[in-house]
Amino acid sequence: MLKMAVGQSDDVDPEAAIDDAVAQAKAQLGDATPKAAILFAAFDAFDPSLVERVRRAFPGIDVIGATSAAEMSSVAGYLEDSVALAVFASDNLELAAGMGVGIETDPATAAHDAIAQARARLTRDPRLCIVLTEGINAQRVIKALRDELPADVLIVGGAAGRHELGGNAPTYQFCNDKLSATGVVVLLMAGPVALSTAVGTGWRILGPRGTITAAGYGVIKEIDGQPAAQWASAYLDMSSATYGNPLAIQDAGTDDWYLRVALATDGQGGLRIPGEVPVGASVQLTTTSPDEMLRASEAAVERARAAFPEGASPQAALFFSCAVRKYLLGTRTGQELASARDLLPQSLPIAGMYCIGEIAPTGAATAGATDSHFLNETFVTLLMGS
């Protein structure tokens, strides 16, 4: 049995907010013994002392988390400038956390360190890896985590966020007493856990279709043999990032599309992107509307629910949604969570964050999936039970 207790508060005093959240979670836990916690903390509200307060409130548990662009939970809904806390207890599941740092220079070692720390305290192979990391290097981290974990482990999570979309301000990841702006934190779950996940975007593909003919990490150099910035500039104003019109990418030989924001031109005719896309992939333009985005997130929840293993029922949900969706949905952002709650059991505890990059398989999948991708502008649903 998995129990997730949730607390959330947007008190202007961050310490009062975390104390509120802790109190709410404790009340829900009852006699259950917590094993681990995830803290989503608004970037402006975050201070390492918040993590310490959670650890003091639940002695001996692992606390991982990240800064976020906004937070959501089943207790307070969608909020900006809040802290959302999810505390996990289980009588038959094992949970353990780990952290690696320096992903911008050595993602393999960072992923190895994080997984090794967590696995050292597990007696069984993990089934789920919840990951929080940093957006620019997230794709390298996913690949490195994949190399460290058994093939059937589901990897789901997000990249730490902040309120501003652009710029070079850091985001933070933390695990217990460790904090980094270029780290990877993982929470591994082992034992008889039932899982499903699904993603939704809501962007519509339109305009000409090109083929990526030259690319590197963090950059699309050429599309159809011409400088990528030239291709994009025929349709997009490349003086700023294309948050509202990300590029749709389809890897050669696959049916699934995923999104990549063109952050800017690189000064050499290329387009800077978070992560990488392979040469040979197809690229197209996109547009969307709030209604389409909300329909897509609803559909993701429905697909995750439909894919949940027969005979089990979800006992907790984590949502990772993109900070850009928050801006595009504006005052309707809370509907992502509200609609999801309407589709799930009313008593189901939910926690989540708005991030700068999401991590999940692109199709509906259970814990057999091995195709977790680094995603942009996507709503990710993770349902858990045992």
Partner 1 sequence: MTVGDESARETARLERRVKRLEATLEQVERIRDANATLLNRVMDDLEVERQRSHELLLNVLPERIVARLDAGESHIADRHDQVVVLMTDLVAFTSSAAQLSASNLVTELNELFTRFDDACATRGVEKIKTIGDAYMAVAGLDRSPQGDARESVVAAANLALDMLDALGDARSRWAMRIGIHAGPVVAGIIGTRKFAFDVWGDTVNVASRLETTSLPGRIHVSEPVAAALEGRFALEPRGAVDLKGKGELPTWFLNGRL
Supply φ then ψ for residue 316, to 5 degrees: -160, 155
- Minimum distance from residue 3 beta carbon to partner 1 (Å): 31
Query: How far apart, in whole angstroms, are the C-alpha atoms of residue 197 and residue 191?
Result: 18
- Among 28-36, 84-92, 212-220, 322-330, the segment contacting partner 1 (CB under 8 A): 322-330
- The nearest distance, CB 291 to partner 1, in angstroms, is 14
4-43 mask for partner 1 (x: CB under 8 A)? ------xxxx------------------------------
Terminal CA-to-CA distance of the chain, rounded, Å? 5
Name the minimum Å distance from CB 332 to partner 1: 11
Of 1, 3, 85, the closest CA to residue 316 belongs to 3
Phi-psi region of 139 (alpha: psi -120 to 50; beta: other; left: phi over 0): alpha
Instruction: Round to whole Å and give the CA distance between 212 and 252.
Output: 10
Residue closer to partner 1 (CB basis): 154 or 328: 328
Q: What part of residues 95-134 is at the interface with partner 1 (CB under 8 A)?
A: none
| Angle between helical axes of 48-57 and 14-29 (0-180°, round to 10) | 30
Among 89, 142, 159, 165, binds partner 1 (CB under 8 A): 165
For every residue of 188-216, which 3-state class applies, written as one string? EEECCCEEEEEEECCCEEEEEEEEEEEEE
**Are 107 and 140 spatial neighbours (Cβ–Cβ below 8 Å)?**
yes
CB of 14 or CB of 107, closer to partner 1:
14
User: Smallest gap, in angstroms, from Cβ of residue 173 to partner 1?
Assistant: 23
CB of 265 to partner 1, least distance (A): 14
Q: Specify the 3-state DSSP secondary structure of 291.
A: helix
Q: Smallest gap, in angstroms, from Cβ of residue 123 to partner 1? A: 45
| 223-252 positions binding partner 1, by CB under 8 A | 234-237, 240, 242-245
Question: Does 81 help bind partner 1 (rule: CB under 8 A)?
Answer: yes
Token output for 48? 């390492």
Q: What amino acid is encoded at 42 in this protein?
A: A
User: Which amino acid appears at position 278 of this protein?
Assistant: P
Residue (89 or 328) nearer to partner 1, CB: 328
Q: Which of 164, 177, 342, 371 binds partner 1 (CB under 8 A)?
A: 164
Instruction: Give the nearest distance from C-beta 99 to partner 1 in angstroms.
Output: 30
| Distance (Å, whole) CA 375 – CA 199 | 9
Task: Name the residue nearer to partner 1 (CB basis): 135 or 385.
Answer: 135
Q: Where in 189-228 is the site for partner 1 (CB under 8 A)?
A: 206-208
- Tell me which residues touch partner 1 (CB under 8 A): 10-13, 80-81, 163-165, 206-208, 234-237, 240, 242-245, 285, 287, 326-328, 330
